[in-house]
Structures are given as structure tokens and as C-alpha cells.
């Protein structure tokens, strides 16, 4: 039956109910202040209290303590109202048998008497309470303090524990809050918790992922709980907290790990092992894992059997812990090697193979592919940044440079290209061919004869090696370093000579042939 609006309290009645208890919740175990200024505007206030019907305004579902003999005027009268905070209002309507008419009428009378007795009295401030506690504790032996705290926790457990003898309750003080832990005493009972009012599109999608794929689910919004356990109801609804987020996690997890590449013909490839766990839903099995403080990976595969699974990865999700790297010495990120290998294997290889293991003898295989990776701007940007960080890390580690990551720094294309060039020189022994040479190298020779120069020019396959002392700098984020001197070796070049006027010096221009090569090596002390 729909709620009868003609039985609602008038604004004047609501105001009187609130004023008669001095804005405080009438529940003697609560007594929260329910009215305060809204600091964003001078014309408004924030009210977390409500005028509740002692006997329901309407019959039917939700009509707690409804009295069929009452008239409309009686139902909306001040005698049938009680001022409560929103949490206590919900609580009394969920358990009408526990919170009877007699109990609520007693609450109302006691709340009005409490407000009357305290009229004109000063509220105790936090400093007042702190001073009282300090005075008390200063004269108590340490053992007495410890025993007192233990007795408080013991009393809480004993008092609340009687609400449900199927559950084991324990408490502890952690930082600034009391933590309640509840677990079944045996496997014969598992408490249920219902969550209401979270049916928005995002929450529904996450909940489906929990049921279908076994993924952890985090829902948000104004969340309302109810349970078949009075103890759990007490803990959830008597805290005075408005829940805005709730996490639901599967417990049927199996330790697992992935290897990539798996069964690759290139035996020289580095194999990366990522630990995590498997969890399953009604339709699929999911792997969740990663490298701690580096990145997380999650992918969904079809139902697992003892047979190899091929082309079954439905969705691959990767997230990176860039915020954890900011401000760190780049050389402290020792796991970048594995991360770089993994990302290149998955993102650059359309048929990247991932071996999924629950043990050394039980293996499942799935081929991972990120759809349209080459066209995805986010993926390209992440790969670009990871490539820069990884190669900067390798350079700094090799040359013993101290560089700190600053993700707010603008990395220019020039700095990026120079980093790649230095990396290739050190670690890949890159050979520069004719197509890589943008301008012909030149050398100045002094104190040589014309005959010696002629020998150079007449050699169609010139071999030449020299050490460059030109200052060259490398920028890594906000850190700038001078690079070591370089030894440069030219192979199979031709030469053209030009005499510098009025001197005995010659400018030698090296002209590359089709098979010319340049090799560069940094001279590390």
C-alpha cells in the first residue's frame, strides 16, 4: 500500500519535535546533534535528523508499528512523532518488534527531559574531555590502564556477542578507531548481508563482473545494509556512518602465475614470471596479478579444463603505479626490466603467448591480444613513457648517474630521441649505415703533408678511428649529465680534402658509400 501523504507531519510539528529535544537524536544511545550550519551558503543549514512516526503513517510493507484504530489527525500529531537521526530512523523501522511503541515513547520523554535539564549548560569541548582523561590517567598505574582497556574490549565483546551466538566477535584498537572482526564459529552458518540502493549502471556492471567473472566488486553511492544476523545489523547500522563505498571480494582464490613469452621458438627471449591468483565466476576464470608497486594486470579467460586453451582471452586490463614512482631515484626501480619485457611482448605481438600456471605440472595456455593497440592513443602514450623511463634507467645504472623521476616534466622529442640514441650506443652496439647519416662527418687535420692527404683521398675504403672530446649532455627528466668521451670508428668511407687557406691544415670530409659503417663507443673510466 502506498504511503498516505495526508498523515505526514506539518512543518510546524517537525520544527517542534526538533526543538523540544534541542536538535539531538532521541535515541539515548546516540544523542547526535542533527543540525548545523551549511558553510557554503549563509542561507542554508545541514540537517541529518528526521521526524519519525512512532506508529506508522501507512499500513503495508514498511509500515512499522501501524495502528489501524488511529485517525488521520492522531497519526500526524506531535504525540505520534519522535526526532531521530537518519540512521536511528532506519534502524527502528527495520526492527519494529525490537523498537516497540512503548520504547519509542520512553525515548521521546527521556530526550525532552535531557534537553530541559541541560538548558543553559555549557557543552563539554574536546579539550574538557581530554583534560579529564589526562587527570584520571596520570594517577593510574600502567597496569591498571592496560587492564581497563582490556576490560572495555571484553565488555563490548560480551555485550554484543549475545546478539548472535553463531558468530565469533573480537575487537582491537587500531590507530584512532576500534576494529570489529566477525567470523562464523563453524561452517554450518554463513551470515548474509543484503545491500540496497546501489542500482546505478556502474554498480550493476561491477556486480555482474563479480558474478560472471569472479572479479572483486566495489560499489558506491548511498548504501544501505541489512543482514540475517542481529549482531551484524548492530555493527553496520549503529555506527552513525553513512556508507558511501563497499567492497565485495571472492574468497575462492587459487595461487597462480603467468609466464610470457610461453613456448616461443626464440629461446633467447627473456621469460617474465608474474605472480597472482585465479578466481572464477559463473562463466569465466580470471587471473589477477602484477609486480608490486609497478603494475597490475587482469585478464579473463574461458572456463578452464585440463586441455590447452587457445585464443580465449576476452579482456586484458593493465594499470601502472606511476604515482608511486614520482620522486624516486630511477635506479631504484629494479623491476623495470621485467615490466619492459612484458609490455613489449603483449602490446607489440598480436599473438603474444601467455602461459597460465597453478603449479609446475598443471598448465593452461591463452594467447593475449590487445585489440587495436597500435591505434589506441592511451596505449601509445603509456608505451612511450615506459620506454623512456626504462632506457633512462638502464643508462643511469650503466653510467652511475643519480636521476630522480619527475612525471610533471615535459619531455621533448629531442630529449627522447637522444635517450634512445645513447641507449642504442651503449647496449645495442648500433651500427650507423649510410641511411642513418644525415650529414657527412668532417675532420680537421693539421701538420700533415699533401702526400699524406693524397693517400687518404685515394683510398676508396677508408678506415679511421678517433676520440671525440666534444662536450655532450643528456637530460633525464629534470636531471642533466655530461656524457663521457666517445670513440668513433669509420669504416669503408671515401674522403674529400679541402685545404684551409694560408695554413698547413686540411678539412677532410668523409663521404659514405653503400657499405659504409660508423660505430660509436663511450669511454667509461
Is residue 86 scored above 60 in pLDDT? Answer: yes
Do residues 347 and 282 both lie within one domain?
yes
The residue from 360, 391, 422 where one domain ends is 391
State the pLDDT confidence band at 1, using cuts at 50, 70 and 90. Answer: very low
**What is the C-alpha to C-alpha distance for residues 462 and 510, in angstroms, rounded to an integer?**
9
Helix-strand-coil split of the chain, %, nearest 5: 35, 30, 35
Helix or strand (DSSP H, E) at 518 = strand 505-522
Identify whether the C-beta of residue 483 lies closer than 8 Å to the C-beta of residue 472.
yes
At residue 343, the pLDDT reads 79
240 is a domain residue: yes
CA torsion through residues 213, 216, 218, 223, sign: positive
Give the model confidence (pLDDT) of 415-465 as tens digits: 999 999 999 989 988 888 888 888 888 888 888 888 888 888 888 888 888
Do residues 66 and 81 both lie within one domain?
yes
Helix or strand (DSSP H, E) at 371 = none
Do residues 13 and 82 both lie within one domain?
yes
Do residues 199 and 258 both lie within one domain?
no
158 or 241, greater pLDDT: 158
40 is a domain residue: yes
- Closest to 349 (Cα-Cα) out of 450, 274, 264, 286: 264
Do residues 244 and 167 both lie within one domain?
yes
**What is the C-alpha to C-alpha distance for residues 264 and 345, in angstroms, rounded to an integer?**
11
Identify whether the C-beta of residue 92 lies closer than 8 Å to the C-beta of residue 64.
yes
141 is a domain residue: no
Do residues 184 and 90 both lie within one domain?
no
**pTM for this prediction:** 0.56
Do residues 183 and 60 both lie within one domain?
no
Identify whether the C-beta of residue 9 lies closer than 8 Å to the C-beta of residue 81.
yes
State the pLDDT confidence band at 330, using cuts at 50, 70 and 90. Answer: very high
The C-alpha cell at 371 is: 585489440
Residue numbers of the domain that contains 75: 5-117
Mean pLDDT of the chain: 80
Give the model confidence (pLDDT) of 184-238 as tens digits: 888 788 888 777 666 677 788 888 888 888 888 887 777 777 788 888 888 877 6
157 is a domain residue: no
- Helices within 53-179 (DSSP H only): 72-75, 86-94, 101-117, 126-138, 142-161
At residue 231, the pLDDT reads 85
Beta bridge partners of 365: 355
Is residue 133 scored above 80 in pLDDT? Answer: no
150 is a domain residue: no
The residue from 249, 270, 296 where one domain ends is 249
Helix axes 142-161, 230-237, angle to 10 degrees: 120
Give the model confidence (pLDDT) of 33-43 as tens digits: 888 887 776 66
425 is a domain residue: yes
Do residues 327 and 446 both lie within one domain?
no
At residue 128, the pLDDT reads 66
Q: Which residue has the cell 602484477?
A: 290
State the pLDDT confidence band at 125, using cuts at 50, 70 and 90. Answer: low
Between the alpha carbon of residue 462 and those of residues 2, 394, 465, the distances in Å are 98, 34, 10
Helix or strand (DSSP H, E) at 510 = strand 505-522
Helix or strand (DSSP H, E) at 240 = none
Do residues 420 and 510 both lie within one domain?
yes
**What is the C-alpha to C-alpha distance for residues 376 and 347, in angstroms, rounded to an integer?**
11
Do residues 374 and 441 both lie within one domain?
no
- Closest to 519 (Cα-Cα) out of 451, 471, 463: 463
Q: How many domains does the chain have?
A: 4
State the pLDDT confidence band at 63, using cuts at 50, 70 and 90. Answer: confident
Is residue 308 scored above 50 in pLDDT? Answer: no
CA torsion through residues 5, 7, 13, 18, sign: negative
Q: Mean pLDDT across the stretch 486-510? A: 88
The residue from 117, 140, 172 where one domain ends is 117
Between the alpha carbon of residue 224 and those of residues 179, 182, 338, 474, the distances in Å are 20, 19, 44, 57
Do residues 338 and 358 both lie within one domain?
yes
CA 445 to chain centre: 61
83 is a domain residue: yes
Identify whether the C-beta of residue 288 lies closer than 8 Å to the C-beta of residue 255.
no
Q: Judging by DSSP bridges, how do beta strands 254-260 and 272-280 pair with one another? A: antiparallel
Residues in the chain, overall count: 525
Give the model confidence (pLDDT) of 232-276 as tens digits: 888 877 666 666 777 777 777 888 888 877 765 566 677 888 888
**What is the C-alpha to C-alpha distance for residues 345 and 292, in angstroms, rounded to an integer?**
19
Identify whether the C-beta of residue 521 lies closer than 8 Å to the C-beta of residue 425.
yes
Q: What are phi and psi of 348, to 5 degrees?
A: -95, -10
Identify whether the C-beta of residue 295 lies closer than 8 Å to the C-beta of residue 382.
no
Q: What is the DSSP string of 209-222?
A: HHHHH---EEEESS
Q: Which residue has the cell 645495442?
A: 428
Q: What are phi and psi of 64, to 5 degrees?
A: -70, 130
At residue 179, the pLDDT reads 78
Contacts of 169 (CB under 8 A, 6+ apart): 157, 160, 161, 180, 181, 182, 231
Q: Could you give the dihedral angle defined by the CA atoms of residues 171, 172, 174 and 179, in that order, rounded to the nearest 10 degrees? A: 0
**What is the C-alpha to C-alpha distance for residues 304 and 362, in angstroms, rounded to an integer?**
11
Do residues 18 and 95 both lie within one domain?
yes
36 is a domain residue: yes
CA 156 to chain centre: 34
Q: Which residue has the cell 544511545?
A: 29
Amino acid at each position: 500500500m502506498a504511503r498516505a501523504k495526508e498523515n505526514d507531519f506539518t512543518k510546524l510539528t517537525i520544527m517542534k519535535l526538533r526543538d523540544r529535544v534541542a536538535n539531538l537524536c532521541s535515541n539515548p544511545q546516540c544523542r547526535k546533534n542533527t543540525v548545523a550550519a551549511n558553510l557554503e551558503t549563509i542561507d542554508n543549514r545541514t540537517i541529518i535528523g528526521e521526524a519519525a512516526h512512532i506508529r506508522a503513517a501507512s499500513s503495508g510493507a514498511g509500515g512499522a508499528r501501524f495502528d489501524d484504530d488511529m485517525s488521520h489527525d492522531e497519526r500526524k500529531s506531535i504525540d505520534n512523532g519522535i526526532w531521530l537521526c537518519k540512521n536511528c530512523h532506519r534502524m527502528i523501522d527495520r526492527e519494529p518488534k525490537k523498537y516497540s511503541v512503548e520504547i519509542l515513547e520512553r525515548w521521546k520523554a527521556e530526550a525532552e527531559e535531557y534537553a530541559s535539564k541541560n538548558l543553559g549548560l555549557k557543552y563539554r569541548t574536546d579539550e574538557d574531555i581530554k583534560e579529564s582523561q589526562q587527570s584520571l590517567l596520570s594517577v593510574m598505574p600502567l597496569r591498571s590502564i592496560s587492564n581497563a582497556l582490556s576490560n572495555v574490549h571484553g565488555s563490548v565483546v560480551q555485550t554484543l556477542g549475545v546478539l548472535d551466538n553463531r558468530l565469533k566477535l573480537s575487537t582491537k584498537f587500531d590507530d584512532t578507531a576500534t576494529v570489529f572482526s566477525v567470523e562464523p564459529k563453524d561452517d554450518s552458518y554463513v551470515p548474509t548481508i543484503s545491500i540496497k540502493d546501489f542500482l546505478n549502471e556502474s554498480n550493476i556492471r561491477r556486480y555482474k563482473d563479480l558474478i560472471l567473472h569472479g572479479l572483486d566488486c566495489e560499489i558506491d553511492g548511498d548504501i544501505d545494509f541489512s543482514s540475517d544476523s542481529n549482531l551484524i545489523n548492530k555493527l553496520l547500522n549503529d555506527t552513525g556512518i553513512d556508507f558511501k563505498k563497499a567492497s565485495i571480494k571472492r574468497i575462492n582464490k587459487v595461487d597462480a602465475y603467468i609466464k610470457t613469452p610461453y613456448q616461443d621458438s626464440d629461446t633467447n627471449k627473456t621469460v617474465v614470471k608474474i605472480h597472482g591468483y585465479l578466481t572464477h565466476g559463473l562463466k569465466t576464470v580470471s587471473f589477477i596479478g602484477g609486480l608490486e608497486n609497478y603494475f597490475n594486470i587482469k585478464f579473463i579467460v574461458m572456463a578452464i579444463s585440463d586441455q590447452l586453451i587457445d585464443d580465449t582471452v576476452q579482456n586484458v586490463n593493465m594499470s601502472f603505479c606511476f604515482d608511486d614512482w614520482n620522486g624516486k631515484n630511477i635506479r631504484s626501480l629494479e623491476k623495470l626490466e621485467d615490466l619492459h619485457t612484458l609490455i613489449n611482448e603483449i602490446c607489440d605481438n598480436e599473438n603474444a603467448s601467455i602461459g597460465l600456471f597453478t603449479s609446475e605440472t598443471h598448465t593452461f595456455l591463452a594467447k593475449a591480444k590487445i585489440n587495436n593497440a597500435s591505434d589506441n592513443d592511451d596505449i601509445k602514450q603509456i608505451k612511450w613513457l615506459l620506454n623512456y623511463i626504462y632506457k633512462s634507467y638502464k643508462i643511469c645504472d650503466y653510467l652511475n648517474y643519480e636521476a630522480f623521476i619527475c612525471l610533471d616534466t615535459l619531455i621533448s622529442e629531442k630529449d627522447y630521441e637522444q635517450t634512445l640514441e645513447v641507449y642504442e650506443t651503449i647496449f645495442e652496439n648500433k651500427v650507423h649505415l649510410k641511411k642513418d647519416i644525415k650529414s657527412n662527418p668532417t675532420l680537421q687535420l693539421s701538420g700533415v703533408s699533401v702526400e699524406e692527404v693524397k693517400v687518404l683521398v685515394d683510398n676508396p675504403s677508408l678506415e679511421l678511428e678517433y676520440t671525440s672530446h666534444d662536450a655532450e649532455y643528456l637530460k633525464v627528466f629534470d636531471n642533466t649529465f655530461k656524457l663521457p668521451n666517445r670513440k668513433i670508428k669509420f669504416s669503408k668511407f671515401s674522403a674529400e680534402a679541402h685545404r684551409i687557406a694560408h695554413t698547413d691544415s686540411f678539412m677532410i670530409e668523409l663521404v659514405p658509400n653503400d657499405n659504409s659503417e660508423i660505430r660509436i663507443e663511450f669511454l667509461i673510466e
